[in-house]
Amino acid sequence: MRYGKYRFVASFLAIPLLLYIVFVVSPYLQAIYISMTDWRGFSPNRNFIGLANYAELLGDGRFWRAMWHNALLLIVVPVVTLGIALFLATMTTVAGRRGSVGHGGVRGSRFYQVVFVFPHVVPLVIAGVLFGFFYNPEAGLLNGLLRLVGFDWLTRAWLGDTTFALPAVMAVLIWSFVGFFYIVLSAAMKSLPTDVFEAAVLDGAGGFRTFVSITIPMLTDSLKTSYIYLGILMLDCFALLQVMLPDGGPDGSTEVVAQYLYRAAFTEGRFGYASAIGVALCLVTLVLAIVVLRMGRRERVEF
């Protein structure tokens, strides 16, 4: 009955695999090799120089500053985003107390579920242009609002200020990503067993106590996955910054590794060096994933 099985399998896999190998697998593999050459792009000669690019990277102040910006994004954005998403998800999935069940959202949850995701649907490029104008010193909505309520002393050129440019970008990232993680965490909460919540209510646990002692421990795995996913996004994070602060911000105060890589490759033509930056970025991603996955492994809750 399985007549011509292998021919069929091969015919279905051939084209997609070819496409995938040519455009995805081979570039990744090439990148590792190119990172060990002194290739400057449009000339054919490239020499193998081993780990020299990586050695240069270690002493490159601009790279480390960009890495530091990524690290800040990596810590602040996921923590705040997941915090807000967790709160919103709790409110709309488990906080409402219908009878004694203690499971189910507050009034109007259905409406919130639709609206909370709006910002996430907005492409980051559009969000970048929009919020670039939002922070505009003269015509921006933010300074307009501050003047309206009499806080004139707070107004400033948000994106032109070395202290505030990066936090301003973080706020946009948080605005954009909460919706996605709201969905992820709500789905995780909905799949939690109801009886645990019933038991908590019977034992007289309040909303906050239930959240800390029941919801959070049971969501550890989802939170970790979300953190890794968000972490990968924060290490990349190119589109928004390139639109909002294409020159790396005032005095380079918001340049991230991805922008530095892009500039090294496509402005300065240092392809070997740019690839080394890419490999370094990839290694950091892997380390992050391993650290987060190993963290607090013993606290895992079975249900």
Partner 1 sequence: MSIDTRTPVSVPPRSPARRAQDGGSAGERGLNAVSHGLLVVWVLLGVVPLLWAVLTSFKSDREIFTSPWSPPTEWHFENFVRAWTTANIGRYFINSAIVVCAAVVLVMLLGAMVAYVLARYEFPGRNAIYYTFVAGMTFPIFLALVPLFFVVQNLGMLGTYHGLILVYTAYALPFTVFFLTSFFRTLPGALVEAAMLDGCSHSGAFFRIMLPLARPGMISVGILNFLGLWNQFLLPLVLMPDQERYVLSQGLAVLAANQGYRSDWSALFAGLVIALLPVLAVYIAFQRRIQDGLAVGALK
Q: Of residues 55-74, which lie at the interface with partner 1 (CB under 8 A)? A: none
Binding-site member from 48, 51, 55, 133 for partner 1 (CB under 8 A): 133
Q: 187 to each of 117, 145, 184, 303, how far by Cα in Å?
A: 14, 36, 5, 16
Cβ atoms 275, 195 nearer than 8 A: no
Q: Tell me: does residue 238 bind partner 1 (CB under 8 A).
A: yes
- Least distance to partner 1 from the beta carbon of 121, Å? 4
Residue 165 token pair: 């440019």
Q: Tell me: does residue 271 bind partner 1 (CB under 8 A).
A: yes
Which residues, numbered 84-123, are part of the site for partner 1 (CB under 8 A)? 84, 87-88, 91-92, 95-97, 106-107, 112-119, 121-123
Q: How many CA atoms lie within 13 A of 111 on its CB side?
A: 3
Contacts of residue 91, Cβ cutoff 8 Å, sequence gap at least 6 = 105, 106, 109, 112
Residue 32 token pair: 């590792």
> Residues binding partner 1: what is the number (CB under 8 A)?
108
Of 53-61, 130-138, 192-200, 293-301, the segment contacting partner 1 by CB under 8 A is 130-138
Q: Tell me: does residue 142 bind partner 1 (CB under 8 A).
A: yes
Q: Tell me: does residue 134 bind partner 1 (CB under 8 A).
A: yes
Which residues, numbered 188-217, are part of the site for partner 1 (CB under 8 A)? 188, 206-208
Q: Please say which residue, 67 or 170, places its beta carbon nearer to partner 1.
A: 170
Q: 178 to each of 55, 86, 188, 232, how far by Cα in Å?
A: 38, 9, 15, 15
What's phi and psi for 222, nearest 5 deg?
A: -65, -40
- Least distance to partner 1 from the beta carbon of 239, Å? 4
d(CA 163, CA 113): 35
Q: Please say which residue, 118 or 303, places its beta carbon nearer to partner 1.
A: 118
Q: Tell me: does residue 17 bind partner 1 (CB under 8 A).
A: yes
Q: Please say which residue, 141 or 295, places its beta carbon nearer to partner 1.
A: 141
Binding-site member from 43, 44, 61, 139 for partner 1 (CB under 8 A): 139
Cβ atoms 239, 209 nearer than 8 A: no
Q: Tell me: does residue 177 bind partner 1 (CB under 8 A).
A: no
- Least distance to partner 1 from the beta carbon of 272, Å? 9
Please spell the DSSP secondary structure of 214-253, one letter per residue.
Answer: IIHHHTHHHHHHHHHHHHHHHHH-HHHHHHH-TTSSGGGT
